[in-house]
Amino acid sequence: MNTAQQARWVRFTPTERIARSMVYIVVVVAVIWSLKTVEVIPEFLYDAPEQTADLLSRMWPFDWGYYPTVVHAAMIETIHIATLGTLLSLVAALPLAFMAARNFTPFPVLNWVAQFIFVTSRSVNSLVWALLFVAIFGPGALAGILAIAFRSIGFVGRLFGEALEEAQKGPIEALNAIGAPGSMVLAKGYWPQAEPAFWSIALLRWDINIRESAVLGLVGAGGIGLALNASLDNLYWDEVGLILAVILLVVMATEIISSKIRARII
Amino acid sequence: MSTSPAPNPASWRSRAFPARWNKRMAWLGLLLYVIYATSIIDVTWERFVRGIANGGTFLARMFPPETAPERMALVYSGLLESIQIAILSTFFGVLLSLPIALLAARNLMPPMVSWAARGVIAICRSFHYVIVSILFVKAVGFGALAGILALIVATIGFVAKLFAEAVEEMSMKPVEALRATGAPFFSIIFLAVLPQVAARFIGFTTYQLDSNLRNSTMVGIVGGGGIGATLFTAYRRFDYDLVLTILIATIILIMIAEALATRLRRIFQ
Amino acid sequence: MAKTEQIHMSSDRRQPALSIKALRKEYRPGQPVLRNINLDIAEPGITAIIGPSGTGKSTLIRCINRLVNPTAGEIWFDGIDMAGLDRRDLRKARRHIGMVFQEYNLVERLSVIENVLCGRLGYVPAWRAFFRRFPEKDVERAFQLLDSVGLGADFATRRADQLSGGQRQRVGIARALMQEPKLMLADEPTSSLDPKTSVEIMELLSALSTQGAIPVLVNIHNVGLARRFAGRIVGMSEGEVVFDGPPSDITDEDLAKIYGGEGWYS
């Protein structure tokens, strides 16, 4: 229709066109391939809204009596797991981040070792870390804390390492110029510049960890997930509903608290 | 604190470096918390030490990783299903995120609409995808479908939230200019809003594809299909060598995906 | 759509293009920004609104095409009262009013030609806009307009964020002209430009206004430019018109009345 016009104005250069078309084709092919091979039973799909509605109706009214006996303590434990796990990961990630920052540690081998630890930490899901630690330490909060910490080291370390690399050279060169020792350069040159980033990364991860720690109990690593698992196995949906509501509240409260703290310290 | 000139060097020092009591109190509080929390939780040193010894035998049982062909085929089909779950959940999740995010953007929509959309996003975000997939397993049965639906919910929670924020951060000036030309609403979206946020949207999408792939390896633990199911079965049967094989395969897959996602982002930049 | 066109055609040719009656605007109740504006714009050529910052010049301009909704009063344009239009009719009416902005308000990430074609969005369905399937004659006209605002065809595929301020404002003017406007509004079109470019842009607006017989309403705070290019000056102070006449009539007393204080202008 507009062929005459395209001689004068085309939106993309031919290479751009080809690159974009390729991406679109790949997306379409990938989706169609997945749709064809994935085992989805259509009847289940049609049934889904009805089943979901049925589940929800069985959850309400909640079994409020379950809160003081089990849910409260379990939720507190979950919060402790998340917080202690986050703190532990901060302690471990801090030196590793300095090791990964190329401007602070001018040895590629050390940078690489730190990066490798980060990648390993991030590539293993916290549930898998939890499985491993449950196998080692037995079920309970200890496995949960370690799972949270090991999963978070990579996250905190990578982001904080990047923040350190963005530190301005000026103050650091000034300290080096007056012959300040390495620890002094670290404390007065790097740390003040990167500190806000550090706390904001820590808060962000804490926020994520509260959510994550709520499921660790499903594999035996303590907290509210244990209670949830028990209620699910027994098909006590009114308990499940209560637990989900409590998780929702805590997660939302965490989000509000962390954004309040962030506004104050940054 | 006082404004009069200080008579002796000691108070100069305290003026140049005022003690930051708030900060010290915060550190002290944190320390007290750690002591308190570890004391009420069942974490003991002796248990930790016993575990370390345990860990040795555990690791020993993992090596060497399982390589028997029929087990490898199991791993392969599990991974494939995880990839499919990731692709489908990202595709449909992103498709749904677009309109939800536009509805949630406070600079384009009246408060009523944006609050409703924000509520949907907040609920999608608040539950961990594993919890959501438990519910879907109960609703639609074991298998990939439950995993896909759970990750669609997670995708909306992440992509729609960030995309709505991107839309809110964009410049309203072109929007104003196009309004002034009498452009219809959707034309304004297509020509003033999307060009400003498209690059970030593609960034979020590739990031989410990456993270859906990670998560799709986990939904199987609660019955949502994919490699996670294979992993959990192996774990429960104490086939720790197979567990290690699955972990290695998963990590390789995730690393490849991360590299691909980075490439993809560059094409659209 | 055809029906509204008919109304436009049949409107009395001798009536002023724009007639503002008793216009009042309050952003916060009881604090009027515009008190009682009465203004008729009949002739092609530049009408300059001058006045101190915060006196409601921008608000006045934006009330005309209802980017800002007036609190009370009438805005007759082309035989209809803009103030009383619903969304749909407002959209149609806006197509005939071009607008040029202080900060150009281009879509930075689109090409120049796409920005110019944005002027046609009121006439083109949204799906066509999405696929950039603009009618051939629109694209042709866009190229012509690029020429007539002093940018060559080789600017067409450049991205708007690669242009200088003066070039961007030329694109902004081309976009406004693309609407085939019966009235042009310009909100501080030169305030973000250097003095030389400001003069060039005012020259361009003035030439286009005469060529196309389009009345141009410019709000401007540079009195020199206003005197040089406008056929008529409207002086505003505290939300009211305090001067209205040809540039030759404006005296130091008038300027003192508009801007307050004395002696700064000589």
Element (H, E) at C91: helix C87-94
Does the residue A160 lie in any domain? Answer: yes
Does the residue A239 lie in any domain? Answer: yes
- C40 three-class SS: strand
As a whole number of angstroms, the distance between CA B189 and CA B179 comes to 11
Neighbours of chain B (3+ CB pairs under 8 A): A, C
How many Cβ atoms sit within 10 Å of the Cβ of residue C263? 7
pLDDT at B248 over 60: yes
Torsional sign, CA C194, C197, C201, C203: positive
**ipTM entry:** 0.87
Q: How far is C136 from chain A (nearest CA, A)?
A: 6
Q: What is the mean pLDDT of residues A220-230?
A: 88
pLDDT at B5 over 70: no
* Residue A72: domain span: 59-265
User: Does C156 sit within 8 Å of A9, measured CB to CB?
Assistant: yes
Which 3-state string (H, E, C) describes B25-39?
HHHHHHHHHHHHHHH
| AA letter at A56 | L
In this predicted model, what pLDDT tens digit does every residue of A38-89 receive, in sequence order? 777 777 777 778 877 888 888 888 888 888 888 888 898 999 999 999 999 9
Write out the residues of chain C at the interface with chain A, using a CB-CB cutoff of 8 A.
Answer: 111, 113-114, 132-133, 136, 139-140, 143, 153, 156-157
| Confidence category of residue B11, pLDDT binned at 50, 70, 90 | low
Nearest to A77 by CA among A245, A250, A235: A250
Query: How many CB pairs (< 8 A) connect A and C?
Result: 18
The answer to whether residues C74 and C125 belong to one domain is: no
User: Does C139 sit within 8 Å of A5, measured CB to CB?
Assistant: yes
Find the closest chain A residue to C155 by CA distance: A9
Query: How many CB pairs (< 8 A) connect B and C?
Result: 89
The answer to whether residues C143 and C87 belong to one domain is: no
In angstroms, the Cα distances linking C249 to A99, A244, C266 are 75, 76, 16
| AA letter at A206 | W
Q: How far is C144 from chain B (nearest CA, A)?
A: 19
C183-187 sheet: strands from edge to edge: C97-100, C183-187, C215-219, C45-50, C232-237, C240-245
The partner residue sitting opposite C107, judged by closest CB among B184, B185, B191, is B191
Q: What is the mean pLDDT of residues A164-186?
A: 79
pLDDT at C153 over 90: no
Residues forming a β-bridge with C241: C236
Does the residue A42 lie in any domain? Answer: no
Q: In this predicted structure, what is the pLDDT of residue B267? A: 67
Residue C191 zone, left/alpha/beta (φ > 0; ψ -120 to 50; rest): alpha
In this predicted model, what pLDDT tens digit does every residue of B23-61 receive, in sequence order? 788 888 889 988 888 887 777 777 788 888 888 888 888
Here the CATH number for the domain that contains residue A90 is 1.10.3720.10
Domain finish residue from C147, C180, C213: C180
Under 8 Å between Cβ of B254 and B213: yes
Under 8 Å between Cβ of A126 and B221: no
User: Does B148 sit within 8 Å of A40, measured CB to CB?
Assistant: yes
Interface test with B, best of C8, C78, C105, C173 (most B CBs within 10 A): C105
A132 CB neighbours in chain B (<8 A) are: 58
Does the residue A185 lie in any domain? Answer: yes
Does the residue C264 lie in any domain? Answer: no
The answer to whether residues C110 and C138 belong to one domain is: yes
Interface test with A, best of C127, C132, C138, C155 (most A CBs within 10 A): C132
Alpha carbons within 13 angstroms on the beta-carbon side of residue B191 total 37
Interface test with C, best of B181, B186, B187, B191 (most C CBs within 10 A): B181
Alpha-carbon torsion, ordered C194, C198, C201, C202, to 10 deg: 180
Q: How far is C155 from chain A (nearest CA, A)?
A: 11
| AA letter at B85 | I
Here the CATH number for the domain that contains residue C242 is 3.40.50.300
The partner residue sitting opposite B41, judged by closest CB among A52, A80, A132, is A80
Nearest to C237 by CA among C23, C63, C29, C50: C50
The answer to whether residues C83 and C190 belong to one domain is: yes
pLDDT at B172 over 60: yes
On average, the pLDDT of chain A sits at 84
Pairing relationship of beta strands C97-100 and C183-187 according to DSSP bridges: parallel
Q: How far is C60 from chain B (nearest CA, A)?
A: 14
The answer to whether residues C172 and C190 belong to one domain is: no
Nearest to B132 by CA among B143, B119, B147, B142: B147
The answer to whether residues C208 and C247 belong to one domain is: yes
Domain finish residue from C180, C212, C235: C180
Residues 6 or more apart whose CB falls under 8 angstroms from that of C237 comprise: C51, C52, C55, C257, C258, C259, C260
The partner residue sitting opposite B34, judged by closest CB among A48, A84, A128, is A84
Residues forming a β-bridge with C185: C99, C217
Does the residue A11 lie in any domain? Answer: no
Query: Per the omega criterion (within 30 degrees of 0), is the bond before A61 cis?
Result: yes
Q: What is the DSSP letter of B222?
A: G
Chain A neighbours among B 217-236 (CB < 8 Å)? 217-218, 221-222, 225, 231-232, 235
The answer to whether residues C136 and C172 belong to one domain is: yes
The partner residue sitting opposite B181, judged by closest CB among C104, C110, C121, is C121
Nearest to C114 by CA among B12, A147, A10: A10
Q: How far is A20 from chain B (nearest CA, A)?
A: 8
| Confidence category of residue C3, pLDDT binned at 50, 70, 90 | very low
Any chain C CB within 8 A of the CB of B29? Answer: no
The answer to whether residues C155 and C224 belong to one domain is: no
B269 CB neighbours in chain C (<8 A) are: none
In this predicted model, what pLDDT tens digit does every residue of B178-234 receive, in sequence order? 999 999 999 999 999 999 998 888 888 888 988 899 899 889 888 888 899 999 999
The partner residue sitting opposite A2, judged by closest CB among C133, C143, C157, is C133
Neighbours of chain C (3+ CB pairs under 8 A): A, B
| Confidence category of residue C68, pLDDT binned at 50, 70, 90 | very high
| Confidence category of residue B8, pLDDT binned at 50, 70, 90 | low
Domain finish residue from C152, C180, C208: C180
The answer to whether residues C85 and C204 belong to one domain is: yes
> pTM for the complete prediction?
0.82
Percent of chain A at pLDDT exceeding 70: 95
User: Does B42 sit within 8 Å of A141, measured CB to CB?
Assistant: yes
Q: What is the mean pLDDT of residues B93-122?
A: 94
Query: How many CB pairs (< 8 A) connect A and B?
Result: 156
Under 8 Å between Cβ of B235 and B146: no
Under 8 Å between Cβ of B227 and B147: no
* Residue C176: domain span: 106-180
As a whole number of angstroms, the distance between CA B19 and CA C173 comes to 59
A1 CB neighbours in chain C (<8 A) are: 133
Chain A neighbours among B 35-64 (CB < 8 Å)? 37-38, 40-43, 47-48, 50-52, 54-55, 58
In this predicted model, what pLDDT tens digit does every residue of C9-67 receive, in sequence order? 434 444 678 999 999 999 999 889 999 999 998 888 899 999 988 888 999 999 999 99
Find the closest chain B residue to C93 by CA distance: B182
C113 CB neighbours in chain A (<8 A) are: 9
User: Does A5 sit within 8 Å of C136, measured CB to CB?
Assistant: yes
Q: Structurally, how many domains does chain A consist of?
A: 1
The answer to whether residues C72 and C201 belong to one domain is: yes
Q: Structurally, how many domains does chain C consist of?
A: 2
- Give one DSSP letter per residue of A60-119, joined into a string: PSP-TTHIIIIIHHHHHHHHHHHHHHHHHHHHHHHHHHHHH-TTT---HHHHHHHHHHHH
User: Tokens for C254?
Assistant: 């008038």
Using the CB atoms, write b or e for C14-39: b if 16+ within 10 Å.
eeebbbbeebbbeeeeeebbbeebeb
pLDDT at C141 over 80: yes
